[in-house]
Chain A
Amino acid sequence: MPLIPSHLIPTGLIHHIRRLSIGLAGALLAIDLTAMLYGVFMRYIAGGAPIWTDELARFLIIGCVMLAMGTVWVEGRHMRVALIERLLPQSLLTLLLWYQWLLTLVLAVGGAWFSYHYAQSVAMFTSQGLGISRSIPVMSVPIGFSLLALMVICHGPRALPTLEESAVEANTGSTDRNVAEDDRP
């Protein structure tokens, strides 16, 4: 079952960035699951779980979420109210799409910039369990925003699928975006 409807898959660079980001996010989720199960196993079989498993699991989840952020945006999985887009005439809709695109771009670039500086500012602190610099897990935030910014630039001010379309696609495999509105006898 595809992650995204075939007619919505962007070509070229954005497609590769999407595959890279969601691939890395998926890998982090799989490692996270392994770490959690290892912790449970060690606690009940070996009599005590290592202190680092909980912390590693938390950091991996944050990394997973941040890396997947751009993919989620491209696939239209971010929750939003898309009612106005259905009501506007084409000229105003184009204007609205430009506004949404610029807003996302500013947010992504700003997020990457400020979170990078925040990550640098916590470099001297070390985490309790893993004993690594706090800036290592926090760097997932600027990396995630940077990937989002790249995807936004590549995607351009085009319409995104709505959450309903994503849900229908994910759960049915249907690629007909209008099947729900299609007035069949």
Chain B
Amino acid sequence: MTIFITLFFLMIILGAPIVFAMGVSGVAYITMEGIPISIVSQRLFSGLDSFTIMAIPFFVFAGLIMERGGIARRMIDFATALVGWVRGSLLHVSVVAGTGLAAISGSGSADTAATASLMLPEMRNRRYDIDFAAGLMAAAGSLGPVIPPSIMMIVLAAVGGLSVGDVFIAGVVPGLLMAMGLLIAAYIHARVHGGTYSQVSRFSFKQLALTAFRAIPAFLMPIIIVGGIIGGVFTPTEAASVAVAVGLIVGLFVYRELKWKELPTLVLRAAAISASVMMIIAASSIFSWLIARENIPQQLVVFLQSITDNPLIFLALINATLLVVGMFLESIAAILILVPVLMPVVESYGLDPLHVGVIIIINLSVGMVTPPYGITLFVASSIAERPVIKVASKAMLPLAFMIAVLLIATYVPSLVTTLPELVRNQ
């Protein structure tokens, strides 16, 4: 088993795709143990043969349709009417719009791209600190996995044996708290840096009502997806496919910004993005089978219990580990590698797997804003045409608030678990 783990990490360090590192190290172990090699093909196929996992391509497709279908612009118009009167108005607008888009697409990089490309030109005109603005938008984009619907949550639910509906609802309060934290960070920055941020629009209830009315089709998306799943109307996969259908209707016929000729490109992009995620899921099924076969979770339980029997210290260890892992590993890969190992340990400490699951998601969303592999950071820096390192340094204030929310969610479990319990008891 040591050879298996060593080979896996060595291959990752040497730049092999994670999916290949999982596959090759798994095959090497299987060969050495004399297990029939056909188990690899069997696990690859059965790893994907899951109805829940099937939701991923549809959520990806729905997100792409949302970005192209004029919904991002409606969301920004609504956010401008809602918070455009606060000092540092455009910073607040980008956070609110990012939060709204997070409730639609579930993809952090897509949300960041949509917000940044629409907001940055005006921010430049008003002489905002572009590095801070890009860092803030990268942080707002990273809310995508925390606020439902979320691809990361679906993967977590599938791997951790949790209800997709429960995980979705559990992310709402922490996600909104993170959004509030980012708004506070934006306000602090605007207060400290004075005059540049004083230009604001006047609040108009009429304008708010008008933009809210225009954004109704956009708001329908999360209601259909999350409401449909919670209400037992759809399975997550059916909800995602219905979201695609609604997105197409809105983009093609309501807002009329999506063109028929663009659809083939969107389908191809959805297929490519989905394949990259789902190949990891397929390969990780070999990985998790080997981990289970070697009783690694049980060994980890014994090891961790020997260090501490205090669940609070264990949670601190999880946070510290995941914050580091999130800096270097892509989020979905991290979930697929760590969750099968961690969940039995979580239960041994008497902790709620749903609570810890959401903590894992928050940790990894923080990782999306941290160098060297913060994907929303890369997208925001690229659109802003600024060096990653400078944007990252200015993202420290928003990051501090995100980590504060992470700690609150970690040590006040009711913030995560109360809403799912309320919905379940309805």
- A contact residues vs B (CB 8 Å cutoff): 1, 3, 22-23, 25-26, 28-30, 32-33, 36-37, 39-40, 54, 57-58, 61-62, 64-65, 68-69, 71-73, 75, 77-85, 96, 99-100, 103-104, 107, 110-111, 114-115, 117-119, 121, 137-138, 141, 163-164, 167-168, 170-172, 174, 179-184
User: For the complex, is B1 an interface residue (Cβ under 8 Å from A)?
Assistant: no
Contacts of B19 in A (CB 8 A): 78-79
Q: Given contacts A65-B274, A79-B276, could you give 8 more A-B pairs where the C-beta distance is less than 8 Å? A: A40-B238, A62-B45, A64-B57, A77-B275, A81-B373, A114-B41, A182-B387, A183-B387
Using A40-B238, A81-B373, A82-B15 as known contacts, say yes or no to A138 and B268 having CB atoms under 8 A apart: no
The answer on a CB contact under 8 Å between A58 and B275 is: no
B244 to chain A, nearest CB (A): 6
Per a CB cutoff under 8 Å, which of A72, A85, A119, A179 touches B276? Answer: A72
Tally chain B residues at the interface, Cβ within 8 Å: 74
Per a CB cutoff under 8 Å, which of A40, A58, A64, A83 touches B274? Answer: A64
Using A68-B275, A167-B379 as known contacts, say yes or no to A114 and B37 having CB atoms under 8 A apart: yes
A89 to chain B, nearest CB (A): 15
The answer on a CB contact under 8 Å between A103 and B16 is: yes
Q: Per DSSP, are chain B's interface residues mostly helix, strand or loop, or mixed? A: helix
The answer on a CB contact under 8 Å between A80 and B268 is: no
- Complex-state Cα separation, A40 to B267, whole angstroms: 21
A139 to chain B, nearest CB (A): 10
User: For the complex, is B18 an interface residue (Cβ under 8 Å from A)?
Assistant: yes
The answer on a CB contact under 8 Å between B264 and A171 is: no
A183 to chain B, nearest CB (A): 5
Using A29-B57, A100-B16, A182-B387 as known contacts, say yes or no to A167 and B271 having CB atoms under 8 A apart: no
Using A78-B19, A164-B378, A171-B113 as known contacts, say yes or no to A84 and B272 having CB atoms under 8 A apart: no
User: For the complex, is B393 an interface residue (Cβ under 8 Å from A)?
Assistant: no
- Complex-state Cα separation, A172 to B282, whole angstroms: 29
- Complex-state Cα separation, A39 to B51, whole angstroms: 13
- Complex-state Cα separation, A58 to B50, whole angstroms: 7
Question: Could you count the A-B residue pairs with CB atoms below 8 Å apart for me: how many are there?
Answer: 206
Q: 7 A–B contact pairs at CB < 8 A? A: A28-B271, A57-B237, A61-B57, A64-B271, A68-B272, A168-B379, A183-B387
Which 10 residue pairs spanning A and B have beta carbons closest together?
Answer: A171-B113, A78-B17, A68-B275, A118-B41, A36-B241, A79-B330, A77-B276, A115-B41, A25-B271, A168-B382
The answer on a CB contact under 8 Å between B18 and A3 is: no
- Complex-state Cα separation, A110 to B270, whole angstroms: 28
The answer on a CB contact under 8 Å between B54 and A77 is: no
The answer on a CB contact under 8 Å between B385 and A179 is: yes
Q: Mark B42-69, 1 if CB is under 8 A from A, else 0.
A: 1011001111011001100100000000
The answer on a CB contact under 8 Å between A58 and B49 is: yes
B270 to chain A, nearest CB (A): 6
The interface-forming segment of B20-28, B204-212, B312-320 is B20-28
Using A30-B267, A179-B385 as known contacts, say yes or no to A79 and B333 having CB atoms under 8 A apart: yes
Contacts of B387 in A (CB 8 A): 180-184
Using A29-B270, A103-B16 as known contacts, say yes or no to A171 and B24 having CB atoms under 8 A apart: no
- Chain A residue, CB-CB nearest to B12: A81
A144 to chain B, nearest CB (A): 9
- Chain A residue, CB-CB nearest to B241: A36
Per a CB cutoff under 8 Å, which of B279, B381, B388 touches A78? Answer: B279
- Chain B residue, CB-CB nearest to A36: B241
- Chain B residue, CB-CB nearest to A116: B41
Per a CB cutoff under 8 Å, which of B40, B110, B234 touches A114? Answer: B40
- Complex-state Cα separation, A26 to B265, whole angstroms: 9
Contacts of A30 in B (CB 8 A): 267
Using A61-B48, A172-B113 as known contacts, say yes or no to A118 and B279 having CB atoms under 8 A apart: no
- Chain A residue, CB-CB nearest to B49: A58
Contacts of B275 in A (CB 8 A): 25, 64-65, 68-69, 71-72, 77
B37 to chain A, nearest CB (A): 5
The answer on a CB contact under 8 Å between A33 and B61 is: yes
The answer on a CB contact under 8 Å between B14 and A163 is: no
B173 to chain A, nearest CB (A): 28
The answer on a CB contact under 8 Å between A168 and B17 is: no
Contacts of A180 in B (CB 8 A): 378, 381-382, 387-388
The answer on a CB contact under 8 Å between A80 and B54 is: no
- Complex-state Cα separation, A68 to B20, whole angstroms: 15
Per a CB cutoff under 8 Å, which of B12, B58, B109, B270 touches A167? Answer: B109
